[in-house]
Structure 1
Amino acid sequence: MERELKLRVAKEDLVKLRNASMLAQSEATAGTPHLLTSTYFDTPDFSFHWCGASLRVRTVGNDKIQTLKREGSAKAGLFDRDEFEMPVNSDAPDLTLLYDQIPDDSDCGKLIRDETVAAQLKPVFVTRINRSAFVLRQPSGDELELALDEGSVEADSGSVQIAAVELELKQGNPDVLYRVALEMLETVPLRIDHRSKADVGYALLIDEHSEAVKAQPVRLNKRDSVEDAFCAIVRNCLDQVHANERGVVSGHAPSSVHQMRVGLRRLRSALDLFAKVIPASSGFDEELRWIASELGGARDWEVLAGSTLDHAGADGNADEIRPVRQACEQIAVNNRQRAAAAVESVRYTRLALQFALWMNRKGWRDEMSDEQRNAISGPVKSFAADVLRRRHKKLIKRGKGLADLDDHRRHRARIAAKKVRYATEFFASLCPKQAVRHYVDALTALQDDLGWRNDAVVADQLLKSLLKTSPEAASGAAFARGFLASRVAADHQTLKKLWKRFKLLSSPH
Structure 2
Amino acid sequence: MADTKREREIERKYDADAAGDLPDLRGVAGVADVIDKGVADLDAVYYDTADQRLATASITLRRRTGGNDAGWHLKLPVPEIEGARDELHAPLSDGVPRALIGLVRSRVRDADLTPVVRLRSARDLRHLVDADGTLLAEVSVDGVRADRLDGATATASWTEIEVELAPNGDPRLLDKVEKRLRKAGVRRSTSKSKLARALADTGTPPEAAAVPELRPDTAGAQVLAYLREQRDALLELDPAVRQDLPDSVHQMRVATRRTRSAFKTYAKILDRTVTDPIGEELKWLAAELGVDRDREVLTERLTAALTDVPRTLLLGPVRGRLRRWAVAGRAGSRRKTVAVLDSKRYLALLDSLDALLADPPLRKAAGAAVAEALPKAVLKDYDRLATRVGHALALDPGTDRDLAMHEARKAAKRARYAGEAATPALGKPAARFAKRMKAVQKVLGDHQDSVVARGTLRDLAIQAHAAGESAFVWGLLYGREEAVAATRERELVGVWERASRPKARAALGG
What is residue 248 of structure 2 aligned with on the other side?
Answer: 256
Opposite residue 238 of structure 1, the aligned amino acid is R
The secondary structure found in structure 1 opposite 2:64 is: strand
Give the deviation of 1:410 after TM superposition: 1.2
What is residue 142 of structure 2 aligned with on the other side?
Answer: 95
Matched, 1:316 2:306: no
Q: How many residues align?
A: 352
Shift of the 54–493 alpha-carbon distance from structure 1 to 2, 3 Å rule, reads: closer
Which of 194, 200, 220 is the equivalent residue of 1:227? 220
Describe the superposition over 1:35-80 as per-residue Cα deviations: whole angstroms up to 9, x where unpaired: x963265689x9x998438899xxxxxxxxxxxxxxxx9793159x
Matched, 1:284 2:278: yes
What is residue 272 of structure 1 aligned with on the other side?
Answer: 264
Shift of the 425–102 alpha-carbon distance from structure 1 to 2, 3 Å rule, reads: farther
Which of 446, 453, 456 is the equivalent residue of 2:447? 453
Larger radius of gyration between Structure 1 and Structure 2: 2
Opposite residue 417 of structure 1, the aligned amino acid is A
Opposite residue 400 of structure 1, the aligned amino acid is G
Shift of the 386–309 alpha-carbon distance from structure 1 to 2, 3 Å rule, reads: same
Name the CA distance, whole Å, in 1 between partners of 2:462 and 2:175: 57
What is residue 296 of structure 1 aligned with on the other side?
Answer: 290
What is residue 343 of structure 1 aligned with on the other side?
Answer: 341
Matched, 1:305 2:302: no
Q: 1:254 touches 1:336 (CA, 8 Å); kept in 2?
A: no
Matched, 1:496 2:493: yes
Name the CA distance, whole Å, in 2 between partners of 1:460 and 1:38: 55
> Tell me, which stretches of 5 or more residues in structure 2 are unaligned?
1-45, 55-61, 77-82, 90-102, 110-115, 126-139, 145-156, 165-170, 182-202, 396-400
Give the deviation of 1:102 after TM superposition: 7.6
Name the CA distance, whole Å, in 2 between partners of 1:54 and 1:262: 26
Q: 2:215 touches 2:221 (CA, 8 Å); kept in 1?
A: no
Give the deviation of 1:287 after TM superposition: 1.5
What is residue 38 of structure 1 aligned with on the other side?
Answer: 64
Shift of the 54–328 alpha-carbon distance from structure 1 to 2, 3 Å rule, reads: closer
TM-score w.r.t. the length of structure 1 is 0.57
Give the deviation of 1:228 after TM superposition: 1.2
Matches within 5 A, 1:425-504: 425-431=420-426, 433=428, 435-436=429-430, 438-466=432-460, 475=471, 476-503=473-500
Shift of the 315–344 alpha-carbon distance from structure 1 to 2, 3 Å rule, reads: same
Q: 1:240 touches 1:263 (CA, 8 Å); kept in 2?
A: yes
Give the deviation of 1:292 after TM superposition: 0.8
Q: 2:52 touches 2:206 (CA, 8 Å); kept in 1?
A: no
Q: 1:402 touches 1:496 (CA, 8 Å); kept in 2?
A: no
TM-score w.r.t. the length of structure 2 is 0.57
The secondary structure found in structure 2 opposite 1:224 is: coil
Opposite residue 142 of structure 2, the aligned amino acid is L
Which of 107, 120, 125 is the equivalent residue of 1:77? 107
Name the CA distance, whole Å, in 1 between partners of 2:250 and 2:470: 28
The secondary structure found in structure 2 opposite 1:386 is: helix
The secondary structure found in structure 2 opposite 1:364 is: coil
The secondary structure found in structure 2 opposite 1:277 is: coil
Name the CA distance, whole Å, in 2 between partners of 1:52 and 1:4: 19
What is residue 140 of structure 1 aligned with on the other side?
Answer: none
Matches within 5 A, 1:39-438: 39=65, 41=67, 51-52=84-85, 76-77=106-107, 95-97=142-144, 223-251=216-244, 253=245, 255-279=247-271, 280-311=274-305, 313-316=307-310, 319=314, 321-334=318-331, 335-359=333-357, 361-364=358-361, 372=363, 375-400=365-390, 402-403=392-393, 405=395, 406-431=401-426, 433=428, 435-436=429-430, 438=432
Opposite residue 383 of structure 1, the aligned amino acid is A
> Tell me, which stretches of 5 or more residues in structure 1 are unaligned?
7-35, 57-72, 115-168, 177-220, 366-371
The secondary structure found in structure 1 opposite 2:65 is: strand
Name the CA distance, whole Å, in 1 between partners of 2:449 and 2:88: 47
